[in-house]
A and B are shown apart, each in its own frame.
Chain A
Amino acid sequence: MTASLGRSLILLSLLVSTTGTVLGYAAGWKRSTDGLRWARRFAFLFSFLMIGATLVMEYALITHDFSVSYVEHVGSRQVPLWVTMVSLWSSLEGSILFWGCILGVYIAAATWLTRNEHVEYMAYSIGTWLFSGAFFSYLIAAPASPFGTVANPPLDGPGPNPLLQNHVLMAVHPPFLYLGYVGMTIPFGFATAALMRGRLGQAFLRPLRASLLLPWVFLTIAIMLGGWWAYEVLGWGGYWAWDPVENASLLPWLTATAALHSALVMERRGSLKGWTVTLVQSSFLLTILGTFMTRSGVFNSVHSFTQSPIGPTILVFLALVLIGSVTLLALRIDSLESDSRFDGPVSREGVFLVNNLLFVLFTFTVLIGTVFPLVVEAVKGRQMSVGRPYFDSMVVPIGTALLFILGVGPALPWGAATREQAKRALLPPLIGAAIVAALGLAFGVRNPWTIVTLAFGGYAAQVTMKEMWLPVIQRIRRGDAVAGAIVDSQLRRGRRRFGSYLVHAGAVIVIVAIGVSSTMRTQQEVRLRRGESATVNGITLTFTGTEEKSEPHRTSTLAHFDISKNGKQITSLAPRMNSYQMMRDPIGTPDVYTTVKGDIYLSILNIEGDSVGVNVILTPMVGWIWWAVLLMGAGGIIALIPNRAARVIVPQTQESPIGANEVAAQ
C-alpha cells in the first residue's frame, strides 16, 4: 500500500518533469509567457511530488513498514529513532530519493524567488532543472527504486550500516553534502539558459552568483563535516585520506570556488563570461561524476555504497549532459564573450586569473589522480594505486600558492598598478608575515614548508583584516559613531564585501591549520596494563580500566584513561570499541580532548585481558580547521543575503543597459 503510493508519486514526478522539460525549452524557444507560466507550475508540481514521495518513505521507515523494500533493507526495530530517520540516506535507493527531494526543494525555491525577474532566461532554466529532475525520477522509478513491495514482510530488519549508526555526524554530513551537490543544478540551469539565450546580462549575474554561493556554503561545510567524521570515527587521527569519494566531494567545490571568483571579474570588467559559464557547467558535471564514483562500485572507498546497477545509467546521463553543455558552449561562446582585456599581471584581475589557474589545476590534478588507476587498468590491464603521497606532493604546492595570492590579490587595485601603488600595497603586510612566522618558530615549528605557510598566512591575514575593516575605519575617521559604522558597513550595506573577507579569513586559518597539524603531529602506539602510565610528548596517560556498555543496537567496551600534564590531571578520556550485530570487526570510536593548542586523541588498537593497546596522537591546531570552515560558511551566508541598497549602484560596463532586454522579452 505505502509502497505503491510512493511508486505512483515517483511515476507522476517522472511524467511531470519530462513534460516540464519539454515545456520549458519550448517556452524559451518561442519566448512564450504563457509557456513560462506553465513551466513554473510544473516545477512546483515536481517539487511537491518529490517531497511527498520522501515523506511517504520517512513514514514507512518510522512505522517500520517492512512491506516497503527499502525499509526491509535498512530498517530495524532495534535502533534509536534518529537512526531510523536518517536511514533515508544510509543506502543507495534512499539516498537517490533524498537527492530527488532536495532537488525538488531547490527547484521550487529558485522558481519562486525568480517569479518576477529574468523572464528571458527562466523558461530555459526551469527546463534544465526539470531535465535533471526527470533523470533522477527515472533512477528512483526504475533502477534504484526504494518503493518495491515485499510479498512476505519480515517482522524485523537488519538496520542500516553500522558506520552510520556509530556517530551523530552521519546524521548531519550527508544532508549538507547533498544540499551542496544538488544545489549545483540551479546555477547550471542559469548558465545553460544564458548559453541558450546567447547572452548573459549584468542583472542575471546576481541569481547566478547567489545560486552558486549557497550550495558552495553547504559543500564547504559538508567537506569539513566529512573530514571531522573521519577524524572522530576512523581512528587514525587524520581527516583527509584522498579517498576517491572524498575527492569526488572536493572536485565540484574547487570549480565552484573558481567560478565565484571569475564571476567577480565578469561583474567588474564584463569579461570571462564564457569561462565562468564553463566553470559552472563543470561544477554540475563534477557532482554527477561524484555521484557515479560513489554509487557505481567502480571505486574502492570507505564511503561508497555497495555495487549497484545504476552506474551505467548515471554514466549515460553524464555523457549526455557533457555533450549538450560542450555543444551549447561552442555554439554560443562568441556571442557571450566580450573582448577580454587585462592590464597586466600586477593587478587585481591578474591575480584573479592566477587564482582561476590554480583552482583549475587543483581540480585537474585531483581528477587525474582519482581516475588514473582506471586509465591504467583499461589501457594496460594492470592495477596500480594513486594515494596520499601523490596527492600530498602535488597539492601542497598548489595550496601554498593559493594562500600566497589570497594575500596578494585583495591588496592590489583593479587595473594596472604603478610601481609605487604596488609597493604601497604589497610591502606593509610583510610585517604580518614576519610576526606569524616568528610565532611559529617560537612554538617549535621547524619544517620549512610549514614556516613558508605561516608566513604566507600572516601576510594574507593582515591584508584580509585591513580590507575587511577599511570601510569602518574610514567612516570612523570621518566622524561616524563606531557602532553605527560597524553595523552599517559590515552587516548592512557592505555585507557582501564583509562576508567575502570573512570567507578569506576562514580560508587562511584552514590552510595554516592544515599545514601545522599535518607536519607537527606526534603519534605513538602504547600498550598498558590496568594502572600503568605512559608519557607521550609531555602528556601522561594512565589506564584505569575497562567498562562494558550495552545498548539495544550495539555493545561497547570502553577503556578509561586519566590524562595529565606536569602531574596535574587535565581530563579523562574513554575511547571505545563498538560491536554491532551485523559486523565481524568492532568499530572503534576514538576519544578526543580538544584545546586551542591542539588535540589529544586516543584510539584503541585492541584489548587483551586487562591490557590495552592504544594509539596516542597529539595534533596541534587541528580543531581550528572545523571552526574556521564554519567561519567560511558564515561569511558565505552573510555575503549571500540580498542587499537591496547595493542594487542601486551598478558597475558600468560596455554592455547595453540592464533590463532593456528583459523588458523586451515580455
Chain B
Amino acid sequence: MRRTEILIAGAVITAALVWILSAGLGKDPQHIDSPLIGKPAPDFALKQVGTGDTVGLAQFRGKPVVVNFWATWCRPCYEEHPVLVANAEMMKNQVQFVGVVFQDKEEKIQQFLNERGSAYPTLVDVGGKTAIAYGVGGVPETFFLNRDGKVVAKFEGPIDPEALQQNVRKAMAQ
C-alpha cells in the first residue's frame, strides 16, 4: 500500500520535473513575448535627430511601418544598422522605417549617423517612455506595424535581412 503510493508519487514528481525543466532548456530566459501583437501600436511623436522636427507615427498611417529601437552604446546595433539602411532605401515607397533611440545622447547619435549613414528618420525618446510603452526589454528590438497601425511582429536582437523581409511581408499582408 505504502509502496505503491511512494512509487506513484515518485513517478509523478520525476515526470513533472523532467518535463518542466526540459521544456525550459534551449529557451532564452531574456526573451520577452510581446503582448502588443495584434493590438494598435502606442502612438508617439518625437524629435528627430539633426533636424529637430517632430515626427509622429500617425503621419505614416496607410503604410506599413518598421520601428527600430536602438542606442549607440549597443554593439549589435552596429551590426544591424547597414541592414536597416539598405532595406529602407530599397523599400522606400512601400514601407516607412523609423529609428527610436533611448538612453542616449543626441550628439552621439548624430555622430553615429554621420559615420554610418541614414535613410529614415531617427527619433530621440527622452526618458524612455516610448520604449516602455512598447515593452522594450533590451536593444535592439524591432516592431513591425501594418497599414492600420497594428503591431504585427516583434524581433529581438540584431535583425538579419531574411527576418526583416519576412516580417515586412507579414506587415504588408495583414
Which residues does A use to contact B, with CB under 8 Å?
Answer: 289, 292, 296-300, 311-312, 315, 318-319, 322-323, 325-327, 329-331, 333-334, 371, 374-375, 377-378, 382-383, 584
Give chain A residues whose Cβ lies under 8 Å from the Cβ of B20.
371, 374-375, 378
The 3 closest A-B CB pairs, nearest first, are A326-B10, A300-B29, A298-B24
Which of B3, B27, B33 interacts with A333 by CB under 8 Å? B3
Instruction: List the A side residues contacting B32 at CB < 8 Å.
Output: 383
Residue contact A333 to B21, C-beta cutoff 8 Å: no
CA separation between A602 and B33, bound complex, in Å? 36
User: In the complex, what distance in Å separates the CA atom of A319 from the CA atom of B27?
Assistant: 20
Distance, CA A298 to CA B28, complexed state (A): 7
B11-19, B76-84, B123-131, B153-161 - interface stretch: B11-19
Determine how close the nearest CB of chain A comes to the CB of B10; give it in whole angstroms: 3
Given the known interface contacts A378-B19, A378-B20, the answer about A298 and B10 at a Cβ–Cβ threshold of 8 Å is: no
Cβ B21 vs Cβ A327 within 8 A: no
A377 near B3 with CB under 8 A, answer no
- Could you write out 17 A-B pairs with CB less than 8 Å apart? A289-B17, A297-B29, A298-B27, A299-B24, A300-B29, A300-B30, A315-B22, A319-B18, A323-B10, A323-B14, A330-B2, A330-B3, A330-B4, A334-B3, A374-B21, A374-B24, A375-B20
Known contacts: A333-B6, A334-B3. The answer to whether A322 contacts B29 by CB under 8 A is no
Q: Is B23 an interface residue (CB 8 A)?
A: yes
Q: Which of B30-46 contact A (CB under 8 A)?
A: 30, 32-33
Minimum Cβ distance to chain B for residue A580 (Å): 16
Cα distance A374–B24 when bound, in Å? Answer: 6
**A334-B3 Cα distance, complex, nearest whole Å:** 8
Q: How far is the CA of A311 from the CA of B24 in the complex (A)?
A: 10
Question: Known contacts A322-B13, A323-B14: does B3 contact A378 (CB below 8 Å)?
Answer: no
Residue of A nearest to B1 (CB): A334
Cα of A371 to Cα of B22 in the assembled complex, Å: 12
CB-contact partner of A334 in B2, B17, B23, under 8 A: B2
Instruction: Considering the complex, give the chain B residue whose CB is closest to the CB of A311.
Output: B25
Whether a CB of chain A sits under 8 angstroms from the CB of B173 is: no
The distance in angstroms between the C-alpha atoms of A374 and B16, with both chains bound, is 11
Inter-chain contact A377/B23, CB cutoff 8 Å:
yes
CA distance A371 to B13 in the complex (A): 13
| A374 and B33 form a contact (CB under 8 A) | no
Residues on A with C-beta less than 8 A from B19 are 378
For residue B13, which residues in chain A have a CB less than 8 angstroms away from its CB? 322, 326
Residues in B neighbouring A318, C-beta threshold 8 A: 17-18, 21
Task: Give the shortest distance, in Å, between A387 (CB) and chain B (any CB).
Answer: 14
| Among B19, B21, B32: residue with most chain A CB under 10 A | B21
Neighbouring A residues of B2 by C-beta, 8 Å: 330, 333-334
Q: How far is the CA of A378 from the CA of B17 in the complex (A)?
A: 12
Nearest-neighbour CB distance to chain B for A333, whole angstroms, equals 6
Q: A322-B13, A377-B24 are in contact. Are A315 and B18 (CB under 8 A)?
A: yes
Given A298-B29, A584-B73, are A374 and B18 neighbors across the interface (CB < 8 Å)? Answer: no
Give the contacting residue for B17; candidates A311, A322, A330; CB below 8 A: A322
Contacts of B14 in A (CB 8 A): 319, 322-323, 326
In the complex, residue of chain A having the shortest beta-carbon distance to the beta carbon of B21 = A315
With A292-B21, A296-B24, A311-B25 already in contact, the answer to whether A382 and B3 are too (CB < 8 A) is no
Q: How far is the CA of A298 from the CA of B75 in the complex (A)?
A: 24
**B71 → chain A, closest Cβ, in Å?**
11
A326 touches B7 (CB 8 A): yes
Q: How far is the CB of B115 from chain A (nearest CB, A)?
A: 19
The smallest C-beta distance from A179 to any residue of chain B, in angstroms, reads 26
Whether B21 contacts A298 by the Cβ 8 Å rule is yes
Q: With the chains together, A300 CA to B30 CA distance in Å?
A: 7
Q: Which residues of B contact A289 (CB under 8 A)?
A: 17
Q: Collect the chain B residues with CB atoms within 8 Å of residue A296's CB.
A: 21, 24-25
What residue in chain B is nearest A312 (Cβ atoms)?
B25
Chain A nearest CB, measured from B35 CB (Å): 9
Q: Which of A299, A311, A329, A382 contacts B33 (CB 8 A)?
A: A382
Give A372's nearest chain B residue, CB to CB: B20
Q: In the complex the two chains form, is B25's CB within 8 Å of A315's CB?
A: yes
Which of B10, B22, B29 is within 8 Å of A330, CB to CB? B10
Given A297-B25, A326-B11, A330-B2, 19 more A-B residue pairs with CB atoms under 8 Å apart are: A296-B21, A296-B25, A298-B21, A298-B29, A312-B25, A315-B18, A315-B21, A319-B17, A322-B10, A322-B13, A323-B14, A327-B10, A330-B4, A330-B10, A331-B3, A333-B2, A371-B21, A378-B23, A383-B32
- With the chains together, A374 CA to B9 CA distance in Å? 21
A296 to B22, CA, bound (A): 10
CB distance from B61 to the nearest CB of A (A): 31
**What is the bound-complex CA distance between A377 and B25, given in angstroms?**
12
Chain B residues with CB below 8 A from A315, complex form: 18, 21-22, 25
Contact residues in A for B21 (Cβ distance below 8 Å): 292, 296, 298, 315, 318, 371, 374
How far, in whole Å, are A311 and B26 apart by their CA atoms in the complex? 9
Q: Which residues of A contact B7 (CB under 8 A)?
A: 326-327, 330
CB distance from A317 to the nearest CB of B (A): 11
Name which of B4, B14, B29 has the most chain A CB atoms within 10 A of its CB.
B29
Q: Which residues of A contact B11 (CB under 8 A)?
A: 326
Bound state CA distance, A221 and B17, in angstroms? 29
A289 vs B17: C-alpha distance in the bound complex, in angstroms? 10
Residue of B nearest to A292 (CB): B21
- Interface readout for B105-128 with A: 1 if CB under 8 Å, 0 if not? 000000000000000000000000
Contacts of B27 in A (CB 8 A): 298, 377
